[in-house]
Amino acid sequence: MGEEGREYVIPLGAVKLSPKYKRAPKTIRVIRGFLSRHLNVDLEKVKLDPKLNERIWVDGLRFRLSRIKVKISIDEEGNVKVMPSDG
């Protein structure tokens, strides 16, 4: 496989329906679920980059974005690494 640089814009509308104090953990679950569904991989194979994790947790539990643009790379074993997109 070895794909590099594929980008996705992930809608986070479902996150806004959850209580404010649970939005960052819900965001992580939505991102992992979206990518596992669109890439046909298990949830355990989707790994978030620490920079993306910091971007999600910057507001604490009250994550505020309605969508997020991420860049993915897939290694030979089928693991998906999710990084924040620059653009």
pLDDT tens, 22-69?
999 999 999 999 999 999 999 999 999 999 999 999 988 888 889 999
Q: What is the pLDDT of residue 65?
A: 86
Q: How far apart are CA 30 and CA 18, in angstroms?
A: 12
84 backbone φψ class: left, alpha, beta (φ>0; ψ -120 to 50): beta
- Spell out the alpha helix ranges (H) of 1-87: 13-16, 23-39, 50-57
Residue 76 lies in a domain: yes
Residue 1 lies in a domain: no
Q: What's this model's pTM, rounded to 2 decimal places? A: 0.89
Looking up residue 38, the CATH number of its domain turns out to be 3.10.440.10
Structural domain span for residue 25: 6-84
Q: What is the pLDDT of residue 33?
A: 96
Residue 70 lies in a domain: yes
Using CA atoms of 42, 44, 45, 51 in order, give the dihedral in degrees to the nearest 10.
130
Q: What total of structural domains would you count in the chain? A: 1
